[in-house]
Structure 1
Amino acid sequence: MATLASGEASKRIVTLDIIRGIAVMGIFSVNITAFAMIEAAYFNPPAYGGAEGANLALWVVNLIFIDGKMRSLFSMLFGASMLLVIQRAEAKGQSPEKLHFSRMAVLFTIGWLHYHLVWWGDILKDYAIIGCIAYFFRDKPVRPLLIFASLFYLLGMLFFGGLIYQIVEWDHAAHAPGATQGAIREWNEFASFMYPTAAEISKDLALHRGPWTGIALHWLLVKPFSWVQGTIMFGPETLGLMLFGMAGYKSGFLTGNWANRRYARWALVGLILGAAASVAVAYADIQSKFYVPVVFGGFVVALAPFRVLMAAGYAALIVLLTRNLGQLALRFAAVGRCAFTNYLGTSLIATFVFYGWGLGYYGYAERWEAWLLVPPVWVLMLLWSKPWLERFHYGPLEWMWRSLARGRAQPFRRRGPAETVSS
């Protein structure tokens, strides 16, 4: 018997928690660059943080195995968990619509505060908005869910494909003989995102090495709606991923109900194809000297279908490796049950380490040096989550989200012993 510290152990689907826990840990591995240095460094190593040796190797490893894959997996798990909450509300005779939109409203508020007051890379507000749309697909069977998911995902790819075409046009127009000032300006406005000037870098460093008030005011007053563009641009992809997750839940794929051989096939095909495509994109990026259309197009268009395949492959592999619910698997499950707290907690830890209101290492560490913060934070997630859940029903922020969404304080402190699940 393996202990599962949960006030709702008999009702929870532990597989979802385990996959979610691993996904939120993986996301921090790639987000660390966006915490530690200028935004352009995330996509373009030569922009900042080092593009040779260990720095380049780390970027390549993250691109092949983690970047985009864990976010895709996390988005799929959000769709699956959202459907689970809706179904439980219906089973209890509650209004699923009222509960769902209340949860999304609270999530958006927390995400908005996270974005403006803590870190610009927030995804919670985006999940809240897209989650409101995904609600209307809740009753669809598996096959229609997969069809709609594929269509929305394809729509996102087509949008970005058109954008890449436009970027190439801007490039050619700006560098053609006799290029107009307007053409040059259009190219420079986009290229500055990937190739920031020394003045732009200095401005960014000064902002993030300064006091918290300066950073907060920048996002509150200077760029209060800059997140809207990203939400719209990545909306179709995110919706597609959530619907894939809902289909994965209904089909039993994400809940561990398939046979081992079937999971093994998905893991083998998904991981091999996804990794091979990622290797090809990494090679193309390096060979092109990180040319904007190649880097951007490779990541958001060429790798898009392979990210889904690899995310599914990871999910299948995780199910296979955690069948017996050993102690390590239960540690990951606890991280997943506290994913909301762990996700926001990483923002607080990383911004404290790098931003000026904390230790102030922003822009000083190379890429590999910044990543050294990742393993200790992983260990911290694994250490605190399970003991906490042995004493409390929910993670602290999970409890807050649940209480605010339901309009009353939920049970928090555990009074009885932890329930058990057969291993």
Structure 2
Amino acid sequence: MSSQVVATRHITLDALRGFAVMGILAMNIVAFALPEWAYVAPGTYGGDSAADKASWLVSFIFIDGKMRGLFSLLFGASMALIIERAEAKGENPAKVHYSRMIWLLLFGAAHYLFIWWGDILFLYAVIGCIAYLFRKWEAKRLIKWALIIYGLGFLLYALQFGGLQFLQFMATQPGADASVVAQYKEIIASPDFSLDASAEIAAYSGSYADIVARRWDDALNLLILIAQSFAETLPLMMLGMAMKKNGFLTGEWDRSDYARWARKMLIPGLLISTGLGLWVASSGFDLITTLGNFLAWSLIPRLLMTIGYAALLIMAIQSFADSAFIGRVTATGRAAFTNYLGTSILMSTIFYGYGLGLYNQAGRASLWFFVLGAWALMLLWSKPWLERFHFGPFEWLWRSLARGKLQPLKK
């Protein structure tokens, strides 16, 4: 019985992970190719052509945060599955889990310091250590508390940026109080709102040593990211654990139920996201308006669309499970760790100074050509590799390190 549990794979989890890792690149490409401000403030870098603005709007509405959200759900689901399998084999689930998280944390730190600043692995490792504490909770309890934590995180951001946007409104009115105007100008003039990326551009257009030195100088950002993302990432992992327990993510629900949840989540999520995106565009990409929408107001539609996408994609995966395309997406998901790190190695080499030196050279719209090329590579290599080997290269390394011995690789 236990060997059957270990051998079982869920095509929905693997294929969803494949779609997620591909979708994440569609947003990460901006952070690879352009200064950090370009990711959160489209009016700063990345071009101001109609195509560039349209590219931002499409990405904001359909992709931004949704694919990362899906990846977080799947991380929670996979975590629950690995714990379940460890218990079925008579292993210590805490030892298995925390060994994986410790090595993931080290992978994340190395990824951040030596390859790319946009690492998410360190965050996942830390939050994954906390999420383990809820492993025995039933699905309903996990969902309840995930939504409470998510709601509290939204409330904190809403208060922060709602207050800032109200201050902006009051300070820009005719005859505004001088003290309000002075307070607003002081905030805008602070280093946190400085859009000058000249030092960043110089560093990433320079040598590998320059780039690594900058990463070490900014290493505290790894901890800052945890504080900023805790109330979003932990709930998503908890939801993923719940959706594994209740069979949602493993494809055990009726098709009509998936269709119903896709409609319930995607329609309002798309409407709200579209409204927010148009609000930002109509403001002329005003910095405070953009930040408010990016960090606060998009949190709710992001969650709705993440769940809606999961339901819609599961329906598609089940309908075309035997197709060559889904077979390749599934393999891409099985090697998601390698595809994620491999993408960072490839894209940083293309854009940074030690490689092709294209940093801050391409417009936002033209970056889609790099995305499509990387997607093609993921789909092309993953399946033939996994036909010969049990794991992707980095999956094998992570598994071997976590288990303390080399794992069989070749089939």
Give the TM-score normalised by structure 1. Answer: 0.90
Partner Cα separation in structure 1 for residue 85 and residue 141 of structure 2: 22
Equivalent residues in 2 for 1:277-296, closer than 5 Å:
277-296=272-291
**Is 179-188 or 162-171 further displaced after alignment?**
179-188
Q: 1:192 Cα shift?
A: 2.5
Q: 1:306 Cα shift?
A: 1.7
Q: Is the 8 A contact 1:33 1:371 kept in 2?
A: no
Number of the residue aligned with 2:203: 207
Q: Is the 8 A contact 1:263 1:316 kept in 2?
A: yes
Picking from 293, 307, 313, the partner of 1:312 is 307
> Counterpart of 1:361 in 2: which secondary structure?
coil
Change beyond 3 A, Cα 1:75–1:122? same
Q: 1:177 Cα shift?
A: 2.7
> Counterpart of 2:365 in 1: which secondary structure?
helix
RMSD over aligned Cα, in angstroms?
A: 2.0
Number of the residue aligned with 2:86: 89
Partner Cα separation in structure 2 for residue 245 and residue 8 of structure 1: 19
Q: Is the 8 A contact 1:167 1:187 kept in 2?
A: no
Q: Is the 8 A contact 2:5 2:88 kept in 1?
A: no
Q: Is the 8 A contact 2:86 2:92 kept in 1?
A: yes
Q: Is residue 349 from structure 1 mapped to residue 350 from structure 2 by the alignment?
A: no
Picking from 85, 109, 133, the partner of 2:106 is 109
Q: Is residue 336 from structure 1 mapped to residue 333 from structure 2 by the alignment?
A: yes
Q: 1:166 Cα shift?
A: 4.8
Change beyond 3 A, Cα 1:224–1:9? closer
Q: Is the 8 A contact 1:173 1:183 kept in 2?
A: no
Partner Cα separation in structure 2 for residue 110 and residue 173 of structure 1: 47
* Aligned residue identity for 1:157: F
Change beyond 3 A, Cα 1:342–1:411? same
Partner Cα separation in structure 1 for residue 282 and residue 166 of structure 2: 21
Partner Cα separation in structure 1 for residue 227 and residue 143 of structure 2: 22
Q: 1:287 Cα shift?
A: 1.4
> Counterpart of 2:55 in 1: which secondary structure?
helix
Change beyond 3 A, Cα 1:9–1:22? farther
Q: 1:202 Cα shift?
A: 2.0
Q: 1:106 Cα shift?
A: 0.3
Picking from 206, 211, 218, the partner of 2:214 is 218
Equivalent residues in 2 for 1:64-75, closer than 5 Å:
64-75=61-72
Change beyond 3 A, Cα 1:294–1:172? closer
Partner Cα separation in structure 2 for residue 94 and residue 35 of structure 1: 40
Q: 1:371 Cα shift?
A: 2.3
Q: Is the 8 A contact 1:191 1:292 kept in 2?
A: no
Picking from 33, 37, 50, the partner of 2:30 is 33
Partner Cα separation in structure 1 for residue 189 and residue 135 of structure 2: 44
Q: Is the 8 A contact 2:251 2:314 kept in 1?
A: yes
Give the TM-score normalised by structure 2. Answer: 0.93
What do residues 58-83 of structure 1 show as CA deviations (whole Å, max 9, x unaligned)? 11111111111101000000000011
Q: Percent identity?
A: 44
Number of the residue aligned with 2:269: 274
Q: 1:178 Cα shift?
A: 5.8
Number of the residue aligned with 1:419: none
What do residues 296-334 of structure 1 show as CA deviations (whole Å, max 9, x unaligned)? 222332221221221111111111112142221111111
What do residues 136-164 of structure 1 show as CA deviations (whole Å, max 9, x unaligned)? 11111111010111011112112212321
Number of the residue aligned with 1:258: 253
What do residues 121-145 of structure 1 show as CA deviations (whole Å, max 9, x unaligned)? 1000000000001001111111101
Length, aligned pairs only: 402
